[in-house]
Amino acid sequence: MTLTSGATTRPATDVVVGCDGSVGSDGALDWAAQEARARGAGLRIVTATLAAELPFVAAGEATSGATRRERSHAAGHVVAQARRRAEAVLDPARIETTTIWGHPAGVLVDVSREAGLVVVGHPERGRAREYLTGSVAFAVAAHATCDVAVVPRGELVLPGPRVPVVVGVDGSAHGDRAAHAAASVAERSGAPLVLVRAWQLPSLTGAWRSEAEAPARPDEREICEDSAHRSTEHSAAAVRRAFPDVGVTVRLVEKHPVLALLDAAEGAGLVVVGSRGLGGFARLLLGSVSRAVIHHAQTPVLVVRSL
6/147 same-domain check = yes
Q: Please report the pLDDT score of residue 288 as a whole number.
A: 64
Inside any domain, residue 160: no
Domain boundary among 129, 151, 173: 151
32/113 same-domain check = yes
* Residue % of the chain over a pLDDT of 90: 51
Domain boundary among 123, 151, 179: 151
Q: Which of 14-28, 94-108, 124-138, 210-224 has the lowest mean pLDDT?
A: 124-138
Inside any domain, residue 271: yes
86/174 same-domain check = no
Domain tally for the chain?
2
7/115 same-domain check = yes
Q: Which of 87-91, 126-130, 151-155, 268-272 has the lowest mean pLDDT?
A: 126-130
Inside any domain, residue 203: yes
pTM: 0.82
Q: For residue 93, what are the domain limits?
A: 2-151
140/13 same-domain check = yes
Q: Please report the pLDDT score of residue 223 as a whole number.
A: 86
Q: pLDDT band at 92, cuts 50/70/90?
A: very high
Which residues 6+ apart lie within 8 Å of 293 measured at CB? Answer: 168, 258, 261, 262, 265, 271, 273, 301
Tell me: the pLDDT tens digits for 201-213? 875 444 554 555 4
Inside any domain, residue 96: yes
Inside any domain, residue 54: yes
Give me the mean pLDDT over the 95-117 stretch: 93
Paired residues of 295 in beta bridges:
none
DSSP assigned state of 6: S
